C-alpha cells in the first residue's frame, strides 16, 4: 500500500465539525461537514466548482447505513436542493483546486463511485447506477487516480462507504469464526471494527419469533435484506447470498434467529465458548 502525506485542517479545532483534507502532490481536496453546519459548508468558495459529493446517514426504516452519491457543475446549487432529504447527517465534497474537473469528469467519477459502493454493499444507495461519460484514455487515467485519492480520504473523514468487508479479519479474532445456531439455521461470522459480519452461505430461520413484534427493527432489517436479494429462501431457511455487516453481534443474531437476541451469548466458538466468555478472557 502506498503511503500518503495527508493534511487535515479543522477551522474550529473540532474533528467532528467542518474540516478540509488534502494530500501532498494532489490537485484535489475534500471538505466534510455535519448536516448541522450545512450553511457554513455552502459558504465555502470551493463549492462554486464542479465536483462529487456524498451524503450519508441512517435509513429510518431499516436502521442501516444509507448514502447518496452525486455530481454537479456547481456543488453549492445541488447541495441546496438536498436539504429536503431527511436521512443524511453528513456531507463530503471532493473538488479540484486547479478547477480542472469538467462535467464529464465528475459524471465519470459519480458512475465509478456508485458501482464501487454498490459492490462493497455496506450502504443502501439512494439512486440507481449513473450513466457516466466517455473520456479519452488520458483523462480516464487522471480520474482513476482522483478516485484512488477519494478512497484514501473517505475513511480519514469518517466514512467507510468504500471499505470492503475483509474475511481475513476472522483469523485474527479470538476463537476464530463464530457460530449462531437456532432451529437448524446456522450463522457464521466474526467481529469487525464497525460491528459484526455474517458470512455468505449462512442461514437464518424463516419464521420470526414473537419478540420481533416488540423490536420492529428486526423485521425491518430482515425485510430489507430480502427485498435486496441478500436473503433468499432455500431449503426451508433464508440463505445469505453475500457477507453482511451489522452494527453489533446482537443485531446479527436477531436477523438469524428472527427475534431479539443477546449476541454475546448467541455467538459461540466451534467448541461452544460464548463471545461473552472470550471478551472476559
Nearest to 11 by CA among 36, 42, 33: 33
188 is a domain residue? yes
Same structural domain, 131 and 12? yes
Same structural domain, 222 and 87? no
Range 22-25, long-range pairs (CB < 8 A, 24+ positions): 22/97, 23/149, 23/152, 23/153
User: Is the pLDDT assigned to residue 168 strictly greater than 70?
Assistant: no
User: Is the pLDDT assigned to residue 188 strictly greater than 90?
Assistant: yes
User: Is the pLDDT assigned to residue 167 strictly greater than 70?
Assistant: no
Domain that holds residue 27: 6-156
Antiparallel, parallel or unpaired: β 203-204 and 237-240: antiparallel
Residue, of 134 and 2, whose pLDDT is higher: 134
What's the chain look like in SS3? CCCCCEEEECCCCCCCCCEEEEECCCCEEEEEEEHHHHHHHHCCHHHHCCEEEEEEEECCCCCCEEEEEEEECCHHHHHHHHHHCCCEEEEEEEEECCCCCCHHHHHHHHHHHHHHHHHHCCCEECCCCCCCCCCCHHHHHHHHHHHHHHHHHHHHCCCCCCCCCCCCHHHHCCCCCEEEEECCEEEEEEEECCEEEECCCCEECCCCCCHHHHCHHHHHHHHHHHHCCCEEEECCEEEECCCEEECCHHHHHHHHHCCCCCHHHHCECCCCCEHHHHHHC
User: Is the pLDDT assigned to residue 131 strictly greater than 80?
Assistant: no
User: Is the pLDDT assigned to residue 116 strictly greater than 90?
Assistant: yes
Instruction: Kindly indicate the confidence band of residue 130, based on its pLDDT and cuts at 50, 70 and 90.
Output: low
How far CA 259 is from CA of 177, 195, 200, in Å, comes to 22, 19, 20
The set of cell numbers assigned to 228 is: 435486496
- The confidence score (pLDDT) of residue 59 equals 80
- pLDDT tens for 208-262 read 999 888 888 899 889 989 998 999 999 999 999 988 888 899 999 999 999 999 9
Whether 47 and 78 have beta carbons less than 8 Å apart is answered as no
- Which among 156, 188, 220 is the end of a domain? 156
162 is a domain residue? no
Same structural domain, 17 and 86? yes
69 is a domain residue? yes
Paired residues of 8 in beta bridges? 21
Dist. CA 19–CA 32, nearest whole Å: 5
- Which among 102, 124, 156 is the end of a domain? 156
Number of domains observed in the structure of the chain: 2
Average pLDDT over residues 185-203: 91
Instruction: Kindly indicate the confidence band of residue 60, based on its pLDDT and cuts at 50, 70 and 90.
Output: confident
pLDDT above 70 coverage of the chain, percent = 94
- Which among 156, 178, 205 is the end of a domain? 156
User: Is the pLDDT assigned to residue 165 strictly greater than 60?
Assistant: yes
21 is a domain residue? yes
User: Is the pLDDT assigned to residue 163 strictly greater than 80?
Assistant: yes
- The confidence score (pLDDT) of residue 245 equals 87
Same structural domain, 141 and 188? no
1 is a domain residue? no
Paired residues of 29 in beta bridges? 95
Amino acid at each position: 500500500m502506498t503511503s500518503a502525506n495527508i493534511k487535515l485542517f479543522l477551522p474550529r479545532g473540532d474533528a467532528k465539525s467542518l474540516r478540509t483534507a488534502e494530500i501532498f502532490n494532489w490537485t484535489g481536496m475534500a471538505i466534510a461537514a455535519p448536516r448541522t453546519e450545512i450553511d457554513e459548508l455552502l459558504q465555502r468558495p470551493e463549492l462554486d466548482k464542479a465536483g462529487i459529493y456524498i451524503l450519508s446517514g441512517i435509513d429510518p426504516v431499516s436502521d442501516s447505513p444509507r448514502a447518496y452519491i452525486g455530481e454537479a457543475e456547481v456543488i453549492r446549487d445541488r447541495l441546496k436542493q438536498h436539504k429536503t432529504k431527511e436521512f443524511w447527517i453528513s456531507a463530503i465534497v471532493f473538488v479540484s483546486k486547479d478547477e480542472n474537473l469538467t462535467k464529464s469528469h465528475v459524471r465519470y467519477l459519480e458512475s465509478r463511485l456508485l458501482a464501487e459502493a454498490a459492490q462493497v454493499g455496506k450502504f443502501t444507495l439512494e439512486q440507481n447506477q449513473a450513466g457516466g461519460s466517455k473520456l479519452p484514455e488520458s483523462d480516464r487515467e487522471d480520474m482513476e487516480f482522483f478516485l484512488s485519492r477519494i478512497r484514501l480520504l473517505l475513511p480519514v473523514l469518517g466514512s467507510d462507504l468504500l471499505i470492503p468487508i475483509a474475511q481475513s479479519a476472522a483469523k485474527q479474532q479470538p476463537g476464530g469464526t463464530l457460530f449462531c445456531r437456532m432451529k437448524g439455521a446456522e450463522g457464521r461470522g466474526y467481529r469487525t471494527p464497525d460491528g459484526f459480519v455474517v458470512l455468505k452461505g449462512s442461514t437464518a430461520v424463516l419464521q420470526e419469533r414473537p419478540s420481533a413484534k416488540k423490536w420492529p427493527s428486526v423485521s425491518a432489517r430482515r425485510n430489507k435484506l430480502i427485498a435486496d436479494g441478500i436473503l433468499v429462501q432455500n431449503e426451508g431457511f433464508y440463505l445469505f447470498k453475500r457477507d453482511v455487516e451489522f452494527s453489533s453481534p446482537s443485531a446479527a443474531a436477531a436477523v438469524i434467529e428472527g427475534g431479539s437476541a443477546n449476541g454475546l451469548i448467541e455467538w459461540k466458538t466451534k467448541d461452544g465458548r460464548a463471545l461473552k466468555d472470550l471478551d472476559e478472557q
